Amino acid sequence: MILKEMTSEDCVDVLARGHIAHLACARDHRPYVVPIQYAFESPSLYGFSMPGQKIDWLRTNPLVCIQVGEIENNEVWRSVVVEGRYEEFPDNEQWHDERLHAWSLLEKRSNWWEPGAMKPSPAGETGKTVAPVFFVIHIEGVTGRQSAAGGN
Ligand SMILES: Cc1cc2nc3c(=O)[nH]c(=O)nc-3n(C[C@H](O)[C@H](O)[C@H](O)COP(=O)(O)OP(=O)(O)OC[C@H]3O[C@@H](n4cnc5c(N)ncnc54)[C@H](O)[C@@H]3O)c2cc1C
């Protein structure tokens, strides 16, 4: 197995091909990681969420780390790590165009909203109407490592 650093261009290709990431945020020196879907439009990642722990934490500390992987098996994989900054598009007239733009990128994938919109609810509890959160991750740094069995 060969291990090598990826070029910025190769990292961007992985981000563009992918749509599932691990998003890490931190509050009070404690990390929190969840899988999310994203849409990539250079140089940013766009996402969607319902309010909850990660949004609370991101509002407190907008610095994030995001990992996207392409894993064929133990010996053939690519992994890209992004350092970025979270910015929310509030649900008001001022941010209307940004929300629409994020929506238009995300909706290119079918059922894009489903995992982000679902929350476990106790039996018998009816769903409350809560405004979704659209956001952008401004990419501030990116690194990638790649392994290949035959040096591909
Ligand atoms: C393939 C995939 C795609 C997803 N895409 C999105 C997306 O685009 N947007 C989005 O908002 N969410 C997405 N999710 C769901 C996401 O991973 C979170 O579960 C969800 O957003 C709730 O996070 P929260 O911080 O609001 O949790 P809350 O509902 O506030 O709950 C917080 C508590 O639940 C636990 N918890 C929350 N989520 C998880 C989890 N995934 N695994 C284990 N424990 C958990 C936390 O540890 C914490 O104790 C996706 C999940 C998967 C598997």
Q: Please tell us whether the domain made up of 2-114+128-148 is placed in CATH 2.30.110.10.
A: yes
Mean pLDDT of the chain: 92
pTM exceeds 0.85 for this model: yes
**pLDDT value for 125:** 58
Give pLDDT tens digits for 77-104: 999 999 999 999 999 999 999 999 999 9
As a three-state string, the secondary structure of the chain is CEEEECCHHHHHHHHHHCCEEEEEEEECCEEEEEEEECEEECCEEEEEECCCHHHHHHHHCCEEEEEEEEEEECCEEEEEEEEEEEEEECCCHHHHHHHHHHHHHHCCCCCCCHHHHCCCCCCCCCCCCCCCEEEEEEEEEEEEEEEECCCC
Give pLDDT tens digits for 35-48: 999 999 999 999 99
* Residue 118 in contact with ligand 1 by CB distance below 6 A: no
Q: Locate the domains of the chain by residue range.
A: 2-114+128-148
Give, using CA atoms, the residue closest to atom 52 of ligand 1: 35
* Residue 18 in contact with ligand 1 by CB distance below 6 A: no
Closest approach atom of ligand 1 to CA 133: 11
